[in-house]
């Protein structure tokens, strides 16, 4: 690639790049900065303080909402990752069959339909079940999050399977290893970076979901995003900034862990 065709050398490319980076990350930087502000105002800086983190830590409303969010996100992550892994195997490790493209489209359907439509449809569906069975509880919220997170977990897992070399699996089969043993000893370890990436995406999507949770959640099932939304209507405080900063840190740690894990796997192959 020459300088005339390389985008990095085009006039104004660097300026546009820095503008996009600033546009994306400047609001996050402001949020993190004012979470350490001693003043209650989120626009006037006074001095550095950790008081809002301490207050958020001892806030029972935030504690309860965080526990509900973690419970729903962890269970939805596990269930959606298992289902996405099975779906990825079915759509990549079998001979092409009629309806394969339709199956992939159905799995990715939540990505193509507006989330509010999914939320309304889920609300109506669960309302029918509740009326017929009389069963209530947080299981409906977990089920809704699981269904919505499946395509997010499915994409990196399928991408990992499509990039994997079949020679090791074929060698295991040639040595008369049973299919399950081939999967357990060869396929599963090789696809683990994709599974972890899919699980991370599912966890983050479930953790910060608002629309589906707002429609499906019942009494006592307030998640942290819903709690923060309710507090913002009364006015933004550094306490909300502190909670958001903590969850931002958790997300960065998860992304870093997955990146380092995948890099280690790639170095091991070399």
pLDDT for residue 9: 66
pLDDT for residue 201: 87
* Torsion sign over Cα 197, 224, 111, 91: positive
Neighbours of 139 (CB within 10 A): 11
Interatomic CA distance for residues 151 and 163, integer angstroms: 18
pLDDT for residue 7: 63
pLDDT for residue 72: 95
- Decide if 209 contacts 146 (C-beta within 8 A): no
Neighbours of 104 (CB within 10 A): 18
- Residue 162 three-state SS: helix
pLDDT for residue 179: 81
b/e map 67-91, b = 16+ CB within 10 Å: ebbeebbbbbbebbbebbbebbbeb
- Residue 37 three-state SS: strand
pLDDT for residue 4: 61
Interatomic CA distance for residues 103 and 151, integer angstroms: 12
- Residue 24 three-state SS: helix
pLDDT for residue 270: 47
pLDDT for residue 10: 67
Interatomic CA distance for residues 47 and 34, integer angstroms: 10
Q: What are the two backbone dihedrals, phi and then psi, of residue 37, each rounded to the nearest 5 degrees?
A: -85, 130
% of the chain residues with pLDDT over 90: 26
pLDDT for residue 99: 81
pTM for this predicted structure: 0.82
Q: For the segment 169-191, what is each residue's pLDDT rounded down to a tens digit? A: 878 877 778 888 888 888 888 88
Which parts of the chain have pLDDT scores under 70?
1-10, 258, 261-270
For residue 37, list its beta bridge partners. 48
């Amino acid at each position: 690639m020459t300088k005339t065709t390389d985008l990095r050398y085009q006039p104004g490319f660097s300026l546009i790049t820095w503008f996009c980076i600033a546009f994306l990350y400047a609001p996050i930087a402001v949020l993190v900065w004012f979470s350490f502000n001693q003043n209650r105002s989120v626009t006037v800086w006074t001095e550095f303080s950790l008081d809002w983190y301490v207050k958020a830590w001892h806030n029972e409303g935030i504690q309860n909402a965080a526990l509900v969010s973690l419970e729903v996100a962890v269970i939805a992550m596990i269930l959606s990752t298992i289902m996405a892994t099975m779906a990825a195997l079915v759509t990549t490790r079998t001979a092409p069959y009629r309806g394969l493209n339709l199956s992939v489209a159905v799995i990715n359907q939540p990505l193509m339909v507006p989330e509010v439509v999914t939320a309304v449809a889920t609300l109506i569906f669960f309302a029918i079940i509740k009326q017929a069975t009389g069963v209530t509880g947080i299981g409906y919220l977990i089920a809704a999050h699981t269904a919505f997170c499946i395509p997010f977990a499915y994409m990196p897992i399928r991408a990992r399977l499509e990039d994997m070399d079949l020679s090791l699996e074929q060698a295991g089969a040639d040595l008369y290893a049973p299919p399950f043993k081939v999967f357990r000893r060869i396929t599963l370890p090789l696809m683990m970076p994709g599974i972890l990436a899919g699980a991370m995406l599912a966890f983050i999507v479930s953790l910060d979901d608002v629309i589906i949770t707002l429609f499906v959640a019942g009494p006592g099932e307030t998640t942290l995003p819903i709690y923060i939304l309710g507090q913002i209507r009364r006015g933004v405080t550094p306490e909300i900034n502190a909670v958001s900063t903590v969850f931002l840190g958790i997300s960065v740690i998860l992304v870093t862990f997955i990146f380092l894990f995948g890099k280690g796997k790639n170095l091991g192959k070399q």
